[in-house]
Amino acid sequence: MASRALPSAIAAAALLVAACGEEKVSVYKVPKERDPVLAQAGAGQQAPGSPMAGAAVPTAAGSALVWEAPAAWKPKEASAVRKGSYSVPAGGLESDLSVTAFPGDVGGELANVNRWRGQVGLSPLRPEELEPSVSRMEANGLNFTVVELSPAADPAGSSILGAIVPYGGSTWFFKLMGPGAAVRAATPAFMDFLHTVRAP
Amino acid sequence: MPEVLRQFRSLFVSLKLTIVLLALSIVLIFWATLDQVHLGVWAVQQRFFHSFIVFARAGELRIPVFPGGYTIGGLLLVNLLAAQAYRFRAGWGKTGVWITHAGLILLLVGQLVSGLVQRDFQMSLDVGETKNYSESDRRNELAIIDATDPELDGVVAIPESFLARGAVVQSPALPFRVVPGEYYPNSTLQMRSQAPGAPPTPATQGMGTQIAATPLEVTYRENERNMPTSFVELAGPGGSLGTWMVSPLLGMPQKFEYAGRKWKIVMRPERRYQPFSITLEKFSHDIYPGTDIPRNFSSKVRLNLPDGAAPREVLIYMNNPLRYAGLTYYQQSFANNDRTSILEVVRNPSWLIPYIACSAIALGLVVQFMTHLVAFAGKRRAR
């Protein structure tokens, strides 16, 4: 008997040890909790690997800016994040134009320029380097901060031509992004387009 | 006694076995320490100590190469118990030795128990925030939440391992089956608009349709975390509801409606709820004057107890954790410009065992020494 009891005891102990590590589906009720609010607006444009949220982003409320896009630009489906979305053909290439708006200053100009720089593989700017690398213009009573970001080291990589516009307590972002050549070819049309942006 | 049994007995009671096992454990510890450079402390513990056998990889093959911590510790325990039983002689002369050995046995058993039952979690609190759950810093879960009730959420939490092995889940709390599809143990996400070359997504519902997931190499580093992505199909009796992309990287639940009820689906760090809650009242990060060198981190928390008991104010700082309901809350880290405190939450029912075991070993040694001393002194006096 004893010779059988020992293997059985070992098998039972092994099962017990194995059972300790087993994971189960659990079902429970908890008081309702609020969904996390985005720590950083501008989701959908974040660097890869960072927490991202898509649909339920708190975009800017209130009156929206209006604009006139050239007929050659193909409107794309706007999403919960994008107030406007176009495919911009130029020089046989295409780039993507997104119009987004978020409440407040979304971390300020420097943070947003640096966020865009990160998206095209450029290193962030120091505060004192911001002013020389942006251009400012005024149109229809709005102040535009325009940045051109194209990595010199990689002419085939993505470039960004963007404009940041504070309006009605929110910040609007017009971002043209695509292959360097496509963005360069679309630059005149994009600048003309910015001049059509106005308050309703 | 049959010859075979006799051989077994003399093997298990032998001091040679003890020496061999101690030598093997020295090799194991040395090897694990070196491997910590590649794997990090957590993975090393799993591979070398919380295992019966250490495997090496040769291409796709896993080859057993060395006994793991459980095997060596278990055999040491058997060796010690067998030797005790075999050599036991009644009498007071060896009392100290017995106590010392009992302490050693307790130490080995305690290690085994804490290896099996200890769970580490984290609680991250902003100043003013209250939470009644802690989160795993390694493991994730898929939570499908029935959010129809305005007061209570009904949660079905599915461990990540189910997604990893594609196990279909059918819960009485859900009017649909959960069918895991593609699964990446570590991944990064990008908006599809910024990743024009990304392959088509299996997701047909929610945010996943606009997002491209790229698998990444699994990380074992201590300060990095794997961010899995999985595609999960929900299938009702009338057919598929669609496929959702889920990942802790998405940051917030995705909502949908089915069978007249509101649902949320989210992959998040595995949660453990407690019947009490903790509010962070203040976080202090003191530095030595004129330097950036930290002097002290402390969290002033309020422990909100169930059943209307008066809340308790507790200050948690280095070496002064909060112990409550079998959980220990240590000050671990901070974030967000000193506005977020991160507490490590450890559940280890066997935390007292090493203290008791070491005390027993010390007591046994003292008793043994005193026994000899008294006997020696008695002999001298007799002369």
Provide the shortest C-alpha distance from residue A6 to chain B (in Å): 12
Q: B95 and B40 share a domain?
A: yes
In a domain, B285, yes or no: yes
**pTM of structure:** 0.58
| Cβ–Cβ below 8 Å for B162 and A23 | yes
Q: B36 and B152 share a domain?
A: no
Give B-chain residues touching A35 at CB under 8 angstroms: 252-253, 264
Which of A20, A25, A35, A57 best tests the B interface by mutation, with the highest count of B CBs <10 A?
Answer: A25
Which of A17, A52, A120 best tests the B interface by mutation, with the highest count of B CBs <10 A?
Answer: A52
Please give the pLDDT value at position B374. Answer: 92
Please give the pLDDT value at position B37. Answer: 83
Please give the pLDDT value at position B188. Answer: 86
Q: How many inter-chain contacts (A to B, CB under 8 Å) are there? A: 102
Longest dimension (CA), chain A: 97
| Cβ–Cβ below 8 Å for A119 and B227 | no
Distance CA B309, CA B236 (A): 45
* Pairing state between β A82-90 and A158-167: unpaired
In a domain, B223, yes or no: yes
CA angle B121, B126, B131 (to 5 degrees): 55
Distance CA A21, CA B117 (A): 9
Give A-chain residues touching B193 at CB under 8 angstroms: 85, 96, 98
Q: How many CB atoms lie within 10 A of CB B230?
A: 25
Q: B317 and B365 share a domain?
A: no
Which of B210, B216, B255, B339 best tests the A interface by mutation, with the highest count of A CBs <10 A?
Answer: B210
Among candidate residues B309, B153, B170, the one with its CA nearest the CA of residue B233 = B170
Q: Per-residue pLDDT tens for B295-348?
A: 888 999 999 987 777 889 999 998 899 999 889 999 988 877 778 899 999 988
- Locate A3 and state its tokens: 């010779």
Q: B249 and B357 share a domain?
A: no
Q: B166 and B209 share a domain?
A: yes
Which of A6, A20, A28 best tests the B interface by mutation, with the highest count of B CBs <10 A?
Answer: A28
Give A-chain residues touching B171 at CB under 8 angstroms: 25, 27
| Cβ–Cβ below 8 Å for B250 and A54 | yes
| Cβ–Cβ below 8 Å for B153 and A33 | yes
Q: B262 and B152 share a domain?
A: yes
In this complex, the residue of A25, A48, A50 whose CB is nearest that of residue B157 is A25
Burial of B67 (0-12, 13-18, 19+ CB in 10 A): buried
CA distance readout (Å), B20 to A63, B48, B50, B75, B105: 79, 18, 20, 11, 18
Q: B376 and B290 share a domain?
A: no
Distance CA B12, CA B76 (A): 9
Note down the domain range covering B289: 120-129+273-347
- Locate B112 and state its tokens: 């085994």
Please give the pLDDT value at position A105. Answer: 75
Q: B339 and B360 share a domain?
A: no
Give B-chain residues touching A87 at CB under 8 angstroms: none
In a domain, B134, yes or no: no
| Cβ–Cβ below 8 Å for B249 and A49 | yes
Question: 3.30.420.10, 3.30.420.40, 3.40.1000.10, 3.30.930.10: which CATH number matches A58-194?
Answer: 3.40.1000.10
CA angle B47, B52, B57 (to 5 degrees): 50
Burial of A86 (0-12, 13-18, 19+ CB in 10 A): buried
- pLDDT tens for the 200 residues of chain A, in order: 444 444 455 555 555 554 445 578 999 988 887 665 443 333 333 333 333 333 334 555 566 788 888 888 888 877 666 788 889 988 788 889 999 887 777 778 888 898 888 888 888 888 888 888 899 988 888 999 999 998 776 666 788 999 999 887 788 999 999 888 888 888 888 999 999 998 88
Distance CA B252, CA A55 (A): 10
ipTM of the complex: 0.72
In a domain, B291, yes or no: yes
Give B-chain residues touching A177 at CB under 8 angstroms: 194
Q: B309 and B234 share a domain?
A: no
Q: B162 and B219 share a domain?
A: yes
H or E, element range at B5: helix B3-12
In this complex, the residue of A24, A30, A55 whose CB is nearest that of residue B155 is A30
Tell me how many domains chain B contains: 3
In a domain, B267, yes or no: yes
| Cβ–Cβ below 8 Å for A177 and B194 | yes
In a domain, B18, yes or no: yes
- Locate B67 and state its tokens: 């006994």
Give A-chain residues touching B169 at CB under 8 angstroms: 25
Which residues of chain B, if any, have pLDDT below 50? none
End-to-end Cα spacing for chain A = 93
